[in-house]
Amino acid sequence: MPSTKFFQSIRKIIGAGVNYKEILLLTNSPKPDAPVIFFKPTSTLLDAESPSPTIRVPRVFGGRINFEAELGVIIGRRAANVSPEQAMSYVSGYCLALDMTGMDFILNARPKGLPWCLGKGFDTSTPVSRFISREELPDPNDVRVWCDVNGVRKQDDTTAELIFPIADLIAYTSRFMTLEENDLLLTGTPAGAGPVRAGDVIECGLGTDLVRMRCTVADEEC
């Protein structure tokens, strides 16, 4: 699928939080009973294939946001109440994505039981790569996800370490809402996510050279 067509076709963005095993080990946290699911509006999308893609930091976040590199899964057809055994047949392809996050906002909201949407929903907070076909990525359940900031490796893990694999995420989410063609499911980020500020450069990728993207961080425009 052409990059521009793929980018313009995304319908809704569904994210999975805290979905890598190493994060549980580092935080001494128990395995969650079910995936942590959240929404991002399509206004957050940033075409990382465009010239000089720039992530804008909202002033309300005090000039700091967190980077989170992820494997994105593209839904290929309507899915409602599907089983884990059926789930992968609903996938049309994949992409690389960044889930940029106003972490200070979320850390304040979480203990109060408040929603995350304002910390996840700002413009340019979801850069996405080109479309990756199923043939290009025959085993999405064991693909390396990595991220560098200013040339320093910050994240490096494999989707084999997901707490809830792709099929489980699709099946679980489809019990609560209908997944539609061209929905984007973000599968979670490895350990190592951290803050970036204006002037930082984020480079991330899948595999050794399957796909990569490079984004610059800048302050919100007035």
* C-alpha–C-alpha distance, residues 157 and 147, integer Å: 10
Q: Which residues contact 97 (CB under 8 A, 6 or more apart)?
A: 69, 70, 71, 72, 126, 127, 128, 129, 184, 186
Share of the chain above pLDDT 90, in %: 86
- Quote the pLDDT of residue 115: 85
Domains and CATH numbers, the chain: 3-219 (3.90.850.10)
Q: Which residues pair with 128 in a beta bridge?
A: 47, 97
- Quote the pLDDT of residue 161: 99
DSSP 8-state code for residue 183: -
What does the pLDDT average to over 122-139? 98
- Quote the pLDDT of residue 5: 77
pLDDT digits (tens, 9 = 90+) for 73-117: 999 999 999 999 999 999 999 999 999 999 988 888 888 988 889
pLDDT above 70: residue 127 = yes
What does the pLDDT average to over 12-33? 96
- Quote the pLDDT of residue 111: 87
What does the pLDDT average to over 174-189? 98
* C-alpha–C-alpha distance, residues 165 and 179, integer Å: 17
Q: Chain-wide mean pLDDT for the chain?
A: 95
* C-alpha–C-alpha distance, residues 116 and 128, integer Å: 21
Tokens of 106: 């979320």
Please state the pTM of the whole predicted model: 0.96
- Quote the pLDDT of residue 4: 61
pLDDT digits (tens, 9 = 90+) for 135-165: 999 999 999 999 999 999 999 999 999 999 9
- Quote the pLDDT of residue 82: 99
pLDDT above 80: residue 2 = no
